[in-house]
Structure 1
């Protein structure tokens, strides 16, 4: 019996993005979460990075108050005056004046239209007509995880009416490229097109007025649908933008949608590709911009969001504490919706060593399971037991019993809803019992940044890598008291930041609407390098250590410029466009301009045993 092939190890070589905590690359966003646990030098560096995103912020206090969860600001919409239409019936005849181009076709039979000239008409409408009258209302939900105050991704590049999630994707993917520290042309000289892929999406698609939201709202508001709103609204458009305008790659592309587990679903695609050898470099990510009045009202109608009134009741106060709206595993009222874009570069282990890429960690696998039979599509089920159990078992295999029990931690989905605090804590506690874990550290960073839906797993991944880099595990800041229905016999839930000592791995958990459960095992840089040393030998690691010094120097120089506001997003619109006539095509390969290696047209060895020998 032949031996199974050795899987390539998917290594994380860069992260980037933008969230309520700021810029993701170089752990700036993570540092904002644990600001009060940082040394003075790192704290000042974090504030400096934030200041480049927040022009006009009044000092350190302004930078801190203008980040993380807070009261909805008016840059996206006025939460005190949300536009609506109310139903009414005309009790008397009405006479209106409108542009001819706004007249419906056909004109309703009850309307009497008189041309006025200058392309306008008078319209007489009889009594009894049903009307929609413009009005406003105050949103019952006033808390959100918003990008830093004053930060406008559209102003940084020619955004051309892009939906906000695409603006964030351009910024976030550019942030990721900066932290890669390796010029993309080096990648193109080393790899062929089919060895690269981009998997990125948004769970909610693009629902503001420049995307699907405009398609759906415009007719009812008396506006015309534009030629851009529909194509720019697709949920997979983030991957398309990264391929076309940021990387200029002709590799694999796509993206999965899995509600709140969407980032981990895309991460699984990348991990599977690299482990199988299908790809050598994969960009994975999500960009989610759900701070739209209709989306917020939709989740509120489900009873999922924490409303101001309920927050006041929780605190027995006359005012809602918007900064403490999300309270995972405590007495809570619902989740806090947020926006975020998060991206990561995965490489196979051999490529990372060869290029001298920085190694932030590794993702040996991501496990996904549905819930099985359900009473309702929104109710939790059994799938999360399967994903967490498989992740814990893999950690035991790779790291050993002692490491699993003493040097791993969990990034809980931790939404801040009463249902989540009970069901997820029970999953974690029972898995801990099954694997002999007595004190499993659990963090839940949605208390800081809110729930960014499809990007939530990316927020958690960035925070896990931050813990590996700093040794700080973020506390659950809003956890004044653990709720009595939380299962925490074997879990450690701390309000304060902790330094739990050397950690070998994190289990990142996601529980998505509809039964989309996912758990990723993420290894620390030290344990990743130990695995690489066992596979490639000490000499290969020493050679990599020499190469990575140059990469880290490039990252530091880029970061200094970015933190000073001296860099712009990468956006190559209309540059280097090629067509079929620019290709070299034969029956053995296709060669693209700008790529050192052609795309081979070769036999698929996986089908060799199916073919008969003549």
Structure 2
């Protein structure tokens, strides 16, 4: 009997705002919400953006403030808080020469080592020297336009580093702290209670970034320091590692001594980490698994790299799509006429438990992850080109979902979260996969969503965006349409698909399964099968019985009340991020050890293995 990994909490931040309690999702479908719900979404965002705080946070916004909130969310023109794309600093190399040579003065401590052969140096005293030389190789400060002007940015005014003592932390790790904290507080159960029930050795954390931390506080500063005349700091190398989102959350949010890992798979990174978590819970290796990703790629060097590859929607391409004034909010255009993807920043986190533990603790069940399938592409002509592996991942996910929920649910009660990167190649290849497999499985109008239209491509966190949006769809029943395009591109395959250009409302319980699809550079293909909460509860009732579900619902009341209290505080701008730097350090000399168990101060005892897993072989 395999355990079912159920989703008991989720949180994070992206261009739509805070993820917990479906708030970011509701920003995507704002136009379909009633007046009260719309006001609630906008007032929460206004608080997050620092426009209203405390007791003044609730209530309707005036027209000007509402427009300010709308303009400061989702994909939009790049803000100068990152860099000025119109005039971005760089160094222009130059060779200076003069027939009579050069003479100049400088501080003696600034002399290069070794001195160039043609330099003649004369001391002037007071630490100054005069230099004569025949020519100079120099780097001149210069500025030029970066041809990419749109991005999915955190809401304007929201700076994650201001929410806790984040000194010297790269932006990606600031995001990780806040995102994981949001998920943990939305759980509605004290983390110490979870650890006591599961056991400290039965908790897994799987999280990473795909590209490491590339701003000046991480690998960006590390690699630039010598050429910029700076010193490498003691933190840049360590904080630049792709494993740091998991490491930070283990150390400063959870205080976990359980299993940890950081799986990287380009754009499929979140699903790769989710797969590790699902396997842990299904096999019984873990009873709780925290899954996350954090990416902050809005730095000039990353944009330069993707631009040189021809992957991003640049100004020339957008001018062709918008002959008059460029509409930066519609730069990300999955399955329409497009010219490249749009980078975004964000972090997403989910907390999974095995079904029995979730019932025992009364944790809210938002859905379940049945499985995550991963396949490579085989022989490739280009590392960035798509290949056949995604056919396998989608087909395997569909076939297993059919076995779990039945033919009818697959055909009429499922939907797809497309990778939908907004490149000309993706719109053809991914739509062909969905269309052909829908036909093979007898699906006539398979709903396809593509949330990158609103959020941009958050790289490692991209499939986390898909997952969080799917949980919102299960709760609210509104499938986000691709509203950034006017029509599907002519080369999109859609004979068996329903790629809607407007939001579509369904009864929440009419949707049973979501498929999350990701296609990463290098042949990193992954597809996850996510079950709706009503499907998960039906499965739990069959395994544990109706009486157990009744008792569970009573226990869930306290968790729901505690999580709602957090949501209320957060909506006033009081995120109260969990950051336990240096708190609760374990005194290693106080560890109690025997051959049967080990007890760390402050943690429940850990029973050591005493069975032979290879009994039939030894």
TM bucket normalised to smaller: over 0.9
Instruction: Tell me the alpha carbon deviations over residues 222-259 of structure 1, each in whole angstroms, 9 at most, x when there is no partner.
Output: 22211111111000101110010111111111111100
8 A Cα contact 2:171 2:215, kept in partner:
yes
Residues 1:297 and 2:304 aligned together: yes
Query: After alignment, is 538-547 or 185-194 more displaced?
Result: 185-194
The answer to whether structure 1 residue 307 and structure 2 residue 314 are counterparts is yes
Listed as ranges, the matches of 1:126-525 within 5 Å are 126-127=134-135, 129-317=136-324, 319-501=325-507, 502-525=510-533
Distance 1:116 1:412, change over 3 A: farther
CA spacing shift, 1:112–1:342, aligned 2, 3 Å? farther
**Structure 1 gaps, min length 5:** 1-5
Alignment pair present for 1:24 and 2:19: yes
CA contact (8 A) 1:245 1:573 kept: yes
Partner residue of 2:571 out of 560, 563, 568: 563
Change (3 A) 1:225 1:443: same
Residue 113 (structure 2) aligned to one of 101, 105, 108: 105
Secondary structure of 2:140 counterpart: strand
Structure 1 residues 158-199: Cα deviation after superposition (integer angstroms, max 9, x where no partner): 112100000011111111111111111111222322100111
Q: For 1:567 and 1:109, how far apart are their aligned partners in 2?
A: 60
Q: Matched residues in 1 for 2:49 and 2:395: separation?
A: 42
Is contact 2:182-2:575 (8 Å) kept?
Answer: no
The residue that corresponds to 2:8 in the other structure is: 13
Q: TM-score, normalised by structure 2?
A: 0.95
Aligned-residue offset at 1:375: 1.1
Larger displacement relative to structure 2 (332-341 or 572-581): 572-581
Aligned-partner Cα distance in 2 for 1:452–1:94: 50
192-201 or 413-422, larger mean C-alpha shift: 192-201
Would you say the 8 A contact 1:479–1:494 is kept in 2? no
Residues 523 and 122 (structure 1 numbering): CA distance in 2 closer, same or farther, change over 3 Å? farther
Q: Deviations over 1:289-343 (max 9, x none)?
A: 00000100110110100011211111222x3211100110000010000001001
* CA 1:280–1:100: 2 relative to 1, 3 Å: farther
Rounded to whole Å, the distance in 2 between the matches of 1:96 and 1:361 is: 71
Secondary structure of the residue aligned to 1:90 is strand
Equivalent residues in 2 for 1:67-82, closer than 5 Å: 67-82=73-88
Residue pair 2:587, 2:601 contacting (<8 A) in 1 also: no
In structure 2, the partner of 1:41 is 36
Find the counterpart in structure 2 of residue 3 from structure 1.
Answer: none
**C-alpha contact 1:479 1:495 (8 A) present in aligned 2:** yes
1:50 is aligned to 2:45: yes
Partner Cα separation in structure 1 for residue 3 and residue 447 of structure 2: 29
Deviation at 1:610, TM superposition (A): 2.0
Determine whether 1:608 maps to 2:615: yes
Checking the alignment, whether the CA contact within 8 Å between 1:14 and 1:176 is kept in structure 2 is yes
Q: Equivalent residue for 1:591?
A: 599
Q: Which moved more, 1:103-112 or 1:236-245?
A: 103-112
Q: Structure 1 residues 402, 101: closer, same or farther in 2, change over 3 A?
A: farther
Cα 1:222–1:351 shift into 2, 3 Å: same
Residues 62 and 610 of structure 1: CA distance in aligned 2, closer, same or farther (over 3 Å): same
CA distance in 1, matches of 2:540, 2:131: 77
Does the C-alpha gap of structure 1 residues 89 and 386 become closer, same or farther in structure 2, counting only changes over 3 Å?
same
SS in 2 for 1:214: helix
Offset of residue 443 of structure 1: 0.6
CA distance in structure 1 between the aligned counterparts of 2:580 and 2:528, rounded to whole angstroms: 33
SS at match of 1:344: strand
Contact 1:408 1:504 in 2 (8 A): yes
Q: Matches of 2:516 and 2:209 in 1, distance apart?
A: 19
The secondary structure found in structure 1 opposite 2:70 is helix
- Check 1:336–1:476 CA distance in 2 against 1; reply closer, same or farther (3 A cut): same
What is the rounded CA distance, in whole Å, between the counterparts of 1:97 and 1:14 in structure 2?
A: 64
| Distance in structure 2 (CA, Å) of the matches to 1:95 and 1:55 | 54
* 5+ residue gaps, structure 2: 53-63
What SS does the corresponding residue of 1:109 show, helix, strand or coil? Answer: coil
Instruction: Work out the CA distance in 2 between the residues paired with 1:315 and 1:16.
Output: 35
Which residue is equivalent to 2:56? none
Separation of aligned partners in 2, 1:45 and 1:114 = 72
Tell me the distance in 1 between the aligned counterparts of 2:612 and 2:78.
Answer: 56
Residue 500 of structure 1: how far off its partner (Å): 3.2
CA RMSD of aligned residues (A): 1.4
**Cα distance between partner residues in 2 of 1:160 and 1:305:** 32
Cα distance change of structure 1 residues 106 and 62 upon mapping to structure 2, 3 Å threshold: same
Deviation at 1:94, TM superposition (A): 4.1
Of 80, 85, 90, which residue of structure 1 is paired with 2:91? 85
SS of aligned partner of 1:328: coil
**Partner residue in 1 for 2:61:** none
Distance, in Å, in 2 between the alignment partners of 1:139 and 1:463 is 32
Report the number of matched residues.
603
